[in-house]
Structure 1
Amino acid sequence: MLLVGVLLHYLFPLLSLPEKRAGFFDDGGLSLLKSFPLVSLVPVKAIQPSLHDNTADLDRLKSALTESLPEQLRRCSCSIRIPFACMAKIAASFRAAGFAGYAVVQYEYDRLVLVDFVAEQPELLPALALDLGSTHLEATLLDLLTDKALARNAALNRQVSHGADILSRMHFAERKKGGGNEREGEGLAVLQDAVIASINELLDELCRETGVRPEDVQAVSVSGNTTMVHLLLGLSPRHICREPYIPLVNAPDPFLAREIGLKLHKQARVWVLPGRGSYFGGDLISGILATGLDQTEKICMLIDVGTNAEVVMGNNEWLIACAGAAGPALEGGVARMGMRAAAGAVEHVAIDRENWQLSWRSIGGGPPLGLCGSGLIDLVAELYLARIVDLRGKFQAAFPGQSAEHKRFVEERLLELDGEQVFQVVVAGEAGNKEPVVLSQLDLDAMMRSKAAMYAILVTLIGQVGVEFSDLHRISVAGAFGKHINPRQAITLGMLPDLPLSTFEPVGNSSLRGAEMILLDHAAFERSQEIARKITYIELNVNQEFMIRFSGSRFIPHTDPGLFPSVSSFR
C-alpha cells in the first residue's frame, strides 16, 4: 500500500489579485509586492544623462528599472536581461521618450526580461490563454493590466483530419518522408503545422473581436494533455504509448512563440503547464489550480473526462493521480450517434415510467443531431430503470410482470435498423439531419466498458491510500462532461460512487482557467511546477488491481450491488 500521506510537500498558496494594477504595482505604489503577471508593465523614470553621468542608455534603463521594482524583488537581487533582438529598439524608444516611460518585462523564474519600452501606458497588455484540446481549441484573450477577459472563443483543431483520436495521431506522426527509418517523421511536421495554423486562426478571430493586433499579444499559456503538447512542440509521441510509457518532456521550459510559428509579439513566450506522465498532462494540473485541490485541508477529488478519464485526489499535504481510457464513449465519441457536448447534442433524456413517455433536451434547444456523454449516461440509466436494459447492459424487450403499456412503449422504440437492434431516442422527423437518433447494442457495450473503467479508476485510486469514498469532502467534475452530467444517473449506472449529490461539483473548463491563472499570477505558474513535483502518479496500464476492478464493474450498477444502496437492483 502506497503511503502517500506521509510524503513531505510544500504548499505555494495563490496570492490574491489586485482589482487593477500597472504591472507590479498596487495603484502605482511601491508598498507590498502582490501577485503579478508573467508579463508586466513597470513605470520607469531615469536621471537624464550628462557630462557628469556617462552611463550608457541601456545600463541606465536597467538601473532605473531596478530602483522601480518592489522592495522584495530588489532585495533578492532579481537580475534583468535584455534580449539582443530588442536592444536597438528599446534603446531608441528609451531615449526618444526622454528616459521616462514604461518598461514591458517578462517574469522568468529568478530574473526579469525587458522586451519593450513605451513612452505612454498602453490601454491594454494582451496575452492568450489556450486550452489545447484534441478536437477543439478554446482560448481567452486577457488584459494583464486589469485581469479582465477581453474575448473567448473556440475553434476546431485541424489535426482531426489526420486522426480523430490521440492514438491514430500517434501513428500518423510516425509516417516518414522516405523509406528509411532514419528519415524525419513527415507526419509529425504535418500535425504540428495543423495545430499551429488552428491557434493562429483562433488568435486572429479573438483579435478581430477586440481590435487587438496579434503582434501586440505578449504571451501565451498552454494547457493540454501530454500527447497534444508533444505534437504542438514537434516532439515525437512515440514512447508515450509504448511501455514503460515515458514522454520526452513533462515540463517544457518557456520559449519564444515565433520559434514554432505562432504570430504574436516577437518576444512573446509560450508557457506550457507541466504534466506528470504520459496520460497525466498540464490540463489536469490546470484543473488542480482552478479548483484549489492542492490547498484544501480536506481530502477532495478532481475528475476530468476527455480523451481519457483523468483523476487526482488529495489535499494540501499530498496528491495522487492516475488516468485511463474511459473517455471516448463518455464524450460520445464511440457511439454511433455520439458527438461532443455542443449545439444539437441530446444532453438529457427522461422516461416517464407511469405514462411510458420519453422526453429529451438538446443543447441550444435545436433539432438533435446525436448524443453527447451526459445524454448517453441519462439514456442508459433510464433504460436500466425501465428494465429495457438489463444488469449486463443488454437490451431486453420483455420480462415477467411487464405491463401492456410498457410493452407497447418498448415495441415502438426497440427496433431493427440496418440489421442490428437499436433503441430510438428521437424519430427522424424531429432530428436535425432527418435521421433518427438511436442507441445500438454496440453503443451500449462501449458505454459499459467506459463506465466500468471510470469506476475502476476511482476505486483503484482511493485504494492506493487506504481511504473510503465517504472520506471525500468534494468531487469536482471538469469539462463539458462535468457541466452537463447528471450525477444521479451516473451513480445509477455505477460510474460514480454512491455519495450525496452535494458532493459533486461541476467546474467547467478548468484546463482553460488554469492557463488563465498562470498568465495573471507568476505564483500560479510556480505553484503548477510544485504540484507536478508533489503528485504521485499511478500507471494503470500495468496495474493488476485496476484490471480486476474493471471486470467487477461491468454490470449495472456493479457485481456488488451493496456498493450502490440507493440504486434499484433488478436481479
Structure 2
Amino acid sequence: MDNFGWITTIELELSPPSLKDNTADVDRLLKTVHKNLNQSEIKIDLDFAKSLPFLLREAQYSVRVYLSQEGQCYRIVNLSSQKLESDIYGIAVDIGTTTLVMALLDLKTLSTVKEIQANNPQIEIGSDILARIHFASSNNGLETLRSMLLNALNEMIENITREAGITSSQILCASIAGNTTMSHFLLGLTPYWIIREPYIPVMNKFGLLTAKEIGLNICSEAPCFVFPNVGSYFGGDLIAGILSSGMHEQEEICVLVDVGTNAEVVIGNKDWLVACAGAAGPALEGGVASVGMMAQEGAIDSFFIDPDTLEFQFSTIG
C-alpha cells in the first residue's frame, strides 16, 4: 500500500470467479480491499460499479486500486491493471475573477508538471463581480455563469493533459480555490445574498466533492477539495494563501496581502490571525485607477525586495 497525498494505492491479486465461487464482482473487490485496509466501510459509486466487470477482466484480476480517504471511510476512485504504469496526477486550480490558473501536479514526485492560465470567460458578462452577481439573478443567469466557468476549466484540462502527454482520467484529485462568489458560481450556488445585508453566503464549507458532482472532466470519482470561505469577503483563495505562505505556523508576526477583486490583508502568526478586506478589483481590471490593467501580457505579476540591498525586482506576464 502506498500513499500519495489524498490518493492511496493497493495492488491486489483477486481470485477469478468460478462455479465454486460466484461472488459478485463488487463484493469480491470490496472484500479483498477491506482485508488490506481493515476499514469498516469502503464506498463504491454506482457508475464505477457499471464499469468494474470489464476492468477486472481486462486486468485478469491483477489490479491496482486507487482510493481516497473520507474520515474513517475509503472511496474507490479508480482501478487499473498492475501491468500499466501507475502515474498519479492532480490539479490545483485558482479561480480568479479575471484569470484562471491551473497547475498539473505529479503526486509521486510532488512536482509541478505544467502550469497554464486563461481569461475567465465570465468577463463577457461583466468585468466586475457585482455585474455578474446581478446577472446570476436573471433567468438561467446562474447556470450560464457556471457553464462558462466549467467549459473554460475543462478546456484547460484538455490543453494541459495534451501538453503533458497524459489522459484526463489519470488526474485523480483536484484542489480548487476562489473567492466566495467564484466558489458559488462553480458549484451553482446563488450569490444573491452575498452582497445584501447582512451579507450571507449559501455555504462556507463544501466538504469533499467528486469531479462528477462538480462537472470537471477528470477521473469521475476523483476527490475535489474546494477551499472553504470564512465569510462573504474572505474566500477560499485567501485560506489557500495563508496555508501556502505558512504564516499560520510562524512564531514571528507576518503580513499577507492578496490583491484581487477584493484586497485582503492578514496579519498574525501561529497563535492568532486577523484579517480585513476592501474592494480592489478596478485597480487590476483597468477601471477607476489610471495605471490599472487586466492580468494580461505586460502586467506585473510578482515583485521582490531584497532585504539586504532593498533592490526592487519584478516580473511581468508573458
Name the TM-score class by shorter chain: 0.7 to 0.9
Whole-angstrom CA distance in 2 between matches of 1:96 and 1:206: 28
Match of 2:185 in 1: 231
Whole-angstrom CA distance in 1 between matches of 2:76 and 2:187: 25
Is the Cα–Cα contact under 8 Å of residues 217 and 265 in structure 1 kept in the other structure?
yes
Taking structure 1 as reference, are residues 66 and 307 closer, same or farther at Cα in structure 2, changes over 3 Å only?
same
Residues matched between the structures, number:
314
Is the Cα–Cα contact under 8 Å of residues 139 and 153 in structure 1 kept in the other structure?
yes
2:133 alignment partner, one of 161, 164, 170: 170
| Deviation of 1:342 (Å) | 4.0
Taking structure 1 as reference, are residues 64 and 280 closer, same or farther at Cα in structure 2, changes over 3 Å only?
same
Unaligned stretches of 5+ residues in structure 2:
none
Match of 1:287 in 2: 241
Match of 1:201 in 2: 155
Per the alignment, in what secondary structure is the counterpart of residue 9 of structure 2? strand
Length-normalised TM-score, structure 2: 0.86
Length-normalised TM-score, structure 1: 0.50
2:196 alignment partner, one of 242, 255, 262: 242
Where in structure 2 are the equivalents of 1:456-467 lying within 5 Å? none
Where in structure 2 are the equivalents of 1:448-527 lying within 5 Å? 480=301, 483-484=302-303
Per the alignment, in what secondary structure is the counterpart of residue 218 of structure 1? strand
2:289 alignment partner, one of 322, 329, 335: 335
Per the alignment, in what secondary structure is the counterpart of residue 258 of structure 1? helix
Match of 1:105 in 2: 67
Greater per-residue strand proportion: 2
| Deviation of 1:169 (Å) | 1.1
**Is 1:84 the counterpart of 2:84 in the alignment?**
no
Taking structure 1 as reference, are residues 502 and 103 closer, same or farther at Cα in structure 2, changes over 3 Å only?
farther
Q: Which amino acid aligns with 2:176?
A: V
Match of 2:270 in 1: 316
**Is 1:142 the counterpart of 2:105 in the alignment?**
yes
Whole-angstrom CA distance in 2 between matches of 1:43 and 1:502: 55
Taking structure 1 as reference, are residues 292 and 502 closer, same or farther at Cα in structure 2, changes over 3 Å only?
farther
1:337-392 per-position Cα deviation (integer Å, ceiling 9, x unaligned): 521354334x5xxxxxxxxxxxxxxxxxxxxxxxxxxxxxxxxxxxxxxxxxxxxx
Whole-angstrom CA distance in 2 between matches of 1:276 and 1:501: 36
Is the Cα–Cα contact under 8 Å of residues 184 and 191 in structure 2 kept in the other structure?
yes
Unaligned stretches of 5+ residues in structure 1:
1-21, 25-35, 177-185, 348-479, 488-499, 509-571
Whole-angstrom CA distance in 1 between matches of 2:104 and 2:165: 11
| Deviation of 1:91 (Å) | 3.9
**Percent of residue pairs identical:** 41
Greater per-residue helix proportion: 1
**Is 1:132 the counterpart of 2:77 in the alignment?**
no
Whole-angstrom CA distance in 2 between matches of 1:109 and 1:257: 19
Match of 1:418 in 2: none
1:477-530 per-position Cα deviation (integer Å, ceiling 9, x unaligned): xxx3xx23769xxxxxxxxxxxx7899x99x9xxxxxxxxxxxxxxxxxxxxxx
Is the Cα–Cα contact under 8 Å of residues 129 and 221 in structure 1 kept in the other structure?
yes
| Deviation of 1:85 (Å) | 1.5
| Deviation of 1:160 (Å) | 0.3
**Is 1:62 the counterpart of 2:30 in the alignment?**
yes
**Is 1:42 the counterpart of 2:23 in the alignment?**
no
Per the alignment, in what secondary structure is the counterpart of residue 228 of structure 2? coil
1:64-91 per-position Cα deviation (integer Å, ceiling 9, x unaligned): 223434xxxx4xx462111121124224
Q: Which amino acid aligns with 1:240?
A: I
Whole-angstrom CA distance in 2 between matches of 1:339 and 1:486: 22
Deviates more, 1:126-135 or 1:212-221: 212-221
Whole-angstrom CA distance in 2 between matches of 1:308 and 1:486: 24
Q: Which amino acid aligns with 2:66?
A: V
Whole-angstrom CA distance in 1 between matches of 2:12 and 2:18: 18
Whole-angstrom CA distance in 1 between matches of 2:309 and 2:177: 29
Per the alignment, in what secondary structure is the counterpart of residue 204 of structure 2? coil
* Alignment RMSD (CA, Å): 3.1
Taking structure 1 as reference, are residues 331 and 303 closer, same or farther at Cα in structure 2, changes over 3 Å only?
farther
Q: Which amino acid aligns with 1:133?
A: G
Whole-angstrom CA distance in 2 between matches of 1:145 and 1:113: 20
Match of 2:115 in 1: 152
Is the Cα–Cα contact under 8 Å of residues 128 and 281 in structure 2 kept in the other structure?
no
Larger radius of gyration: 1
Is the Cα–Cα contact under 8 Å of residues 131 and 222 in structure 1 kept in the other structure?
yes
1:141-184 per-position Cα deviation (integer Å, ceiling 9, x unaligned): 122233232211001110001010111111121223xxxxxxxx
| Deviation of 1:107 (Å) | 2.4
Is the Cα–Cα contact under 8 Å of residues 284 and 292 in structure 2 kept in the other structure?
no
Is the Cα–Cα contact under 8 Å of residues 87 and 170 in structure 2 kept in the other structure?
no
Larger RCO, structure (CA 8 Å, separation 6 or more): 1
| Deviation of 1:258 (Å) | 3.1
| Deviation of 1:272 (Å) | 0.4
| Deviation of 1:119 (Å) | 1.5
Taking structure 1 as reference, are residues 296 and 115 closer, same or farther at Cα in structure 2, changes over 3 Å only?
same
Whole-angstrom CA distance in 2 between matches of 1:501 and 1:274: 37
Match of 1:265 in 2: 219
Is the Cα–Cα contact under 8 Å of residues 283 and 293 in structure 2 kept in the other structure?
no
**Is 1:161 the counterpart of 2:161 in the alignment?**
no
Whole-angstrom CA distance in 2 between matches of 1:98 and 1:280: 50
Whole-angstrom CA distance in 1 between matches of 2:144 and 2:239: 28
Whole-angstrom CA distance in 1 between matches of 2:59 and 2:217: 28
